[in-house]
Amino acid sequence: MTDGEHRSFRFEDGTFMGVVLVVTLLFAWLISSYFGAILWGLVAAILFEPATQRLAERLNGRKSLAAALVLLLILALIVMPALLLGSSLVQEAATLYERIRSGQLDIPNMLNHLRDALPTTVRRFVDRQGWSDFDSLRRMLGSGVANGLQDIASRALLVGQSALSFLAAMGVMLYLTFFLLRDGRRYGDLIRTALPLRTATRDRLIDHFVVVVRATMKGTVVVALVQGLLGGVIFWSLGIEGALLWGTMMGFLSLLPAVGTGIVWVPVAIYLLVSGAWIKGAIMIFCGVFVIGLVDNLLRPILVGRDTRMPDFVVLIATLSGLELFGLSGFIVGPVIAALFIAVWNMAIEQRAPAMAELATTVPDEDTPGRHA
């Protein structure tokens, strides 16, 4: 083959790869409106694929039946409880707002008790700052709660108006999950073959992606569910209004390392202490530190493992950025992108390390004797 033919083939290969890239970007743009449904379908398939394979082996290789049974399990254990929880949250938020509006839950009176329980120096400081104007505070809180509930109502109305879109997205997620559960390994092999990477690098990157997705889901969702459930039960047992709402908030805030659930239970514990409910305040602090707090320290290392652990500041920034860019799906997308970023750079360092070590042994130091002889 002549040099001209070689150059022609290289040009044609480059042109074809350009066409592949353009068509892939167009397809990604086409399906972008169902990004959330596709993401959750992919995540569900990655999480439940091992269980599907084991079930298929017990069913004499009937993968379709195994995938259908696992899909029904996902519906029963995840999808339906999530829908019921969302409905209950809206009802509880509306009830809480109605109690505030009608005066049954008197926030200014509660704040007055809180102010009276403060030390004299702190009370004078609060008065000088104007923080004891509880009528203004009540109007501000009422306006804030009203705006929040109005936003919830508008979103509920939006969901009602676009029920067809919601059902379509749910159908896409479940439909995709079924086929990925049944044929996921075959699709994975096709992707491995198509990726223009070295075999070792490609396999390691894909395997790391799967491990990170599973670890992220186990280390965030499971911990969030446990902490939210414990927080809600503790609030309910102490007779605090809106236990379901506060428990759900703690579950979501547990996604943030370091601060997490303390954003909810610490102010409540302080209020209970300064308002004279010493026993309830002490119980809240004990449960917050030694029950809710220890769940994260005990469960997350077991569920996530050492290989996928990231620094807390990386998790915090990635989670907040993911939520800002992708909404609820961001608590998966953000940490996964961050973990893949760290993995890719570690692989690049490992690939360059032998060459750098060889260069260090062949190039003498400036201080080596005889260097300038």
Please give the C-alpha separations between residue 209 and each of 180, 292, 294, 321, 322, in angstroms, as whole numbers.
16, 30, 28, 19, 17
The confidence band for 201, taking pLDDT boundaries of 50, 70 and 90, is: confident
- Spell 36-53 as b/e; 16+ CB within 10 A means b: bbbbbbbbbbbbbbeebe
Alpha helices in 195-261 (DSSP H): 199-217, 223-237, 243-253
Which of 39-53, 191-205, 251-265 reaches the highest mean pLDDT? 39-53
The confidence band for 140, taking pLDDT boundaries of 50, 70 and 90, is: low
Instruction: Compute the distance between CA of residue 149 and CA of residue 203 in angstroms, rounded to an integer.
Output: 48
pLDDT higher than threshold 70 for residue 77: yes
Stretch 261-278: mean pLDDT: 81
Window from 75-79, 120-124, 138-142 with minimum mean pLDDT: 138-142
Question: Mean pLDDT for the chain?
Answer: 76
Instruction: Compute the distance between CA of residue 94 and CA of residue 150 in angstroms, rounded to an integer.
Output: 10
Look at residue 129 in the predicted model and tell me its pLDDT. Answer: 62
Among residues of the chain, what percentage have pLDDT more than 90? 10
Look at residue 226 in the predicted model and tell me its pLDDT. Answer: 87
Look at residue 67 in the predicted model and tell me its pLDDT. Answer: 92
Window from 114-118, 160-164, 196-200 with minimum mean pLDDT: 160-164
Look at residue 373 in the predicted model and tell me its pLDDT. Answer: 42
Instruction: Compute the distance between CA of residue 201 and CA of residue 209 in angstroms, rounded to an integer.
Output: 12
pTM above 0.75, yes or no: no
Domain boundaries, the chain: 33-194, 197-352
pLDDT higher than threshold 60 for residue 5: no
Kindly report, residue by residue over 22-55, the tens digit of the pLDDT. Answer: 998 999 899 888 888 898 898 889 889 889 999 9
Stretch 195-207: mean pLDDT: 80
pLDDT higher than threshold 90 for residue 367: no
* 332 or 29, which is more confident: 29
The confidence band for 175, taking pLDDT boundaries of 50, 70 and 90, is: very high
* 44 or 3, which is more confident: 44
The tokens describing 248, both together, are 């759900």
Look at residue 2 in the predicted model and tell me its pLDDT. Answer: 60
Kindly report, residue by residue over 292-301, the tens digit of the pLDDT. Answer: 878 877 777 6
Count of CB atoms situated within 10 Å of the CB of 329: 18
pLDDT higher than threshold 60 for residue 229: yes
Look at residue 322 in the predicted model and tell me its pLDDT. Answer: 86
Cβ distance 174 to 192 under 8 Å?
Answer: no
Stretch 146-174: mean pLDDT: 64
Give Rg (Cα) of the chain: 28
**Nearest alpha carbon to residue 267 among 233, 291, 240:** 240
Kindly report, residue by residue over 97-138, the tens digit of the pLDDT. Answer: 666 666 666 566 666 666 666 666 766 666 666 655 555 555
Instruction: Compute the distance between CA of residue 300 and CA of residue 315 in angstroms, rounded to an integer.
Output: 13
